Amino acid sequence: MIEHSKYKEPNLKDRYITLDMLTPCFKKVASSSLRVLGESVQGDPISAFTLGHGKHRVLMWSQMHGNESTTTKAVWDMVNYLQGNETLAKTILDSCTLMVVPMLNPDGAKAYTRVNANQVDLNRDAQQCSQPESKVLRELFEAFKPDFCFNLHDQRTLFSAGSAKKPATVSFLSPASNEQRDVTPSREVAMKLIVAMNRVLQELIPGRIGRYDDGFNANCVGDAFQMQGVPTILFEAGHYEKDYMREHTREYIFHALMAALDTISKEKIDEQRTEDYYRIPENEKWFFDILIQNPQTINSNLEKGSRIGIRFQEILEGNAIQFKPELAEIGKLEGFFGHETFNCLNKKDLEQLSKHNEIMALIKRIEK
């Protein structure tokens, strides 16, 4: 297993990653491979670079949603590894040509929003290509003619890997290319690549890999590229215990990327079994950030046996992301889990909870 810490990009950390922060990273790639593809709505450059010179052409892009930055960090960790002297790095660069767009939506990244500066979700703009960022990606896809596409995203903390009490730290999807969700040749290739990545990740985070919903939407970029017959994989970086800055998750995305490139470069895709893709549990929504049991101890308006589910809003303040608690649900909440759980009948839990002023205020404000 690759020692990720040796290749972790020191200029990128935490959740707020902007174009300015990539400046020292871009200096690490050859100027001859770096090019500006176009501009964002607000005039910031959208850049890409190539690595390798092999026959297998891989297009990957990150931060299509500006507030989904974990995969951007992992991409630069990957770049650092590939520029080293490891045997696998040489094999990948000899066998593959990678086209990397590390930040497709710089305006959204700066504002820490999912959408671009025109308030458009770029991942719902695949058919109209109404936005400059969408046009950049489509034109690059058509010019580069990739054999594989990696669509790199973050997902919310609410997702579990199936119904088990384990977060979906990494999720994958081989998107459908029609309403029937047929397993077309390109979709099957993407499934097999996911199987290879899942095998590696199960050694690191067993039971914490999920399979994203495959409902078809032609306006989504992954579905649209799969419709073109190009194997496309959705990567979703999710929650790991007590890792809201997703520094652990970036490592697992790094290992997933390396496993995929290893499989492609050594032409081992057909050694994987499609049926193993369906053995990966589907993402389900069973997690709250905080689950509070027996809150009637704090607020007598609440029924005995009720529970409170709290989810965090991610708020940009200055140059950092703050996690603000928000009341999500009240009820029996059977089957739900908390990334952190407080039982108010437990003295120690109640003492710990009382230190969270915002959460205590939320509970006390609840009326009948």
Residue 368 pLDDT greater than 90, yes or no: no
Mean pLDDT of all residues in 51-58: 98
Q: Pairing relation of β-strands 56-61 and 283-284?
A: unpaired
Task: Please state, rounded to an integer, the average pLDDT across all residues of the chain.
Answer: 97
Q: Are residues 106 and 62 in the same domain?
A: yes
- Give the max Cα distance, the chain: 67
Tell which phi-psi region holds residue 365, choosing left (phi > 0), alpha (psi between -120 and 50) or beta.
alpha
* Residues 248-257: tens digit of each pLDDT: 999 999 999 9
User: Which of 252, 283, 314 is where one domain is finished?
Assistant: 283
Give the span between the Cα atoms of 67 and 351, in whole angstroms.
34
Q: Are residues 211 and 64 in the same domain?
A: yes
Q: Are residues 213 and 338 in the same domain?
A: no
* Residues 267-305: tens digit of each pLDDT: 999 999 999 999 999 999 999 999 999 999 999 999 999
Which residue carries 């652990």 as its tokens? 248
* Residues 79-91: tens digit of each pLDDT: 999 999 999 999 9
Give the span between the Cα atoms of 29 and 98, in whole angstroms.
12
Number of domains forming the structure of the chain: 2
Q: Are residues 279 and 291 in the same domain?
A: no
Q: Are residues 44 and 149 in the same domain?
A: yes
Q: Are residues 84 and 150 in the same domain?
A: yes
The domain of 67 spans: 4-283
Rg (CA), the chain: 21
